[in-house]
Amino acid sequence: MTDATIIDGKAFSEALVTRIAEKASALSAKIGRPPALAVVLVGNDPASGVYVRNKIERTTAAGMTSIEHRLEADTSQDSLLALIDDLNNDDAVDGILVQLPLPDQIDEAAVINAITPDKDVDGFHVVNAGRLATGQDALVPCTPYGCLLLLRDHLGSLSGLNAVVIGRSNIVGKPMAQLLLQESCTVTIAHSRTRDLQDVCAAADIVVAAVGRPEMITGDFIKPGATVIDVGINRVPAPERGEGKFRLTGDVDYTSAVAKAGAITPVPGGVGPMTIACLLRNTLVAAARRFDAGPMEI
């Protein structure tokens, strides 16, 4: 069997961002200002700091406005909720993103559900989760939406395909399963209590791995020719690169899976870049809806 097609999420996301930037420019002309994303970071978690900086840079590069709010690690829940309330009521803000995780004194669900659903560009609010589950217009979580765009681009119609999503988190696994169901896939959601995971996966035309366990899904789990989407981003020691060095790896064992799959996303360079592209897409969609500027399908 020949090696799989490598699904290039980096190239796909760059083309997507170019289209988003064009639409953002057209929308700016219509509404008199660029679409605007407010990003809230609480505390000094280094990884969160990197993610936020990246999001801000990419938002600006796409011709949108980025409004940054940095709060101290000991910020109270009430102060954060007061900021969210201000942003909800600020006409100059189209999208609100609160970087997770939040410090222990803050209830994440309370914060997420305080964001007005129409500005919830992460798509985590229960109203958006409910809209997605019932087939209504929703702001959809960025990572699973990015996976869907890659799958559609590679496979065309997904109708009737067997899809296994490994992981049932609210931010990846569950919305991914909903999106695949909307595409008329036959969907199985696997998790830590699933029995015979290997057999479950071996029947799948599409495997989406969102487990958070480095290289757990090996080629033995993959049906020959299946499409494999690796959501995992794991930082593992890489002594071969020098003392104390790390490398990024997915939830899929790339070397064995690439020999079985028909197509596969690499890590890095697969799903990762799609997540930020879809955040920009959601910001554009949220702005267009707020100003009744017509459909913004990209």
Stretch that binds ligand NDP, among 34-42, 75-83, 85-93, 232-240 (CB under 6 A): 232-240
- Check 23, 55, 119, 260 and give the catalytic one: 55
Question: How far, in Å, CA of 159 to CA of 162, rounded?
Answer: 9
Q: What is the DSSP code string of 269-289? A: SSSHHHHHHHHHHHHHHHHHH
Q: Does 165 bind ligand NDP (CB under 6 A)?
A: no
10 binds ligand NDP (CB under 6 A): no
Buried b (16+ CB within 10 A) or exposed e, 237-264: eeeeeeeeeeeebbbbbbebbbebbbbb
Residue 195 engages ligand NDP in binding (rule: CB under 6 A): no
Binder among 64, 164, 166, 286 for ligand NDP (CB under 6 A): 166
User: What would the x/- binding string for ligand NDP be over residues 55 to 94, using CB under 6 A?
Assistant: ----------------------------------------
CA angle 92, 98, 99 (to 5 degrees): 135
Task: Count other Cβ atoms within 10 Å, centred on residue 4.
Answer: 21
Does residue number 211 form part of the binding site for ligand NDP (CB under 6 A)? Answer: yes
CA dihedral sign of residues 181, 183, 184, 186? negative
Widest CA span in the chain: 58
What residues from 251 to 280 belong to the interface with ligand NDP (CB under 6 A)?
251, 271-272, 275
**Catalytic: which of 94, 122, 251, 253?**
122
Rounded-to-integer distance, Cα 119 and Cα 287, Å? 8
186-190 vs 246-249, strand pairing mode: unpaired
Considering only residues 133, 234, 256, 290, which one is a binding residue for ligand NDP as defined by CB under 6 A? 234
Choose the binding region for ligand NDP from 71-79, 117-125, 211-219, 287-295 (rule: CB under 6 A): 211-219
Catalytic residues: 55, 99, 122
Contact residues for ligand NDP (CB under 6 A)?
143, 166-169, 171-173, 190-194, 197, 210-213, 231-234, 251, 271-272, 275
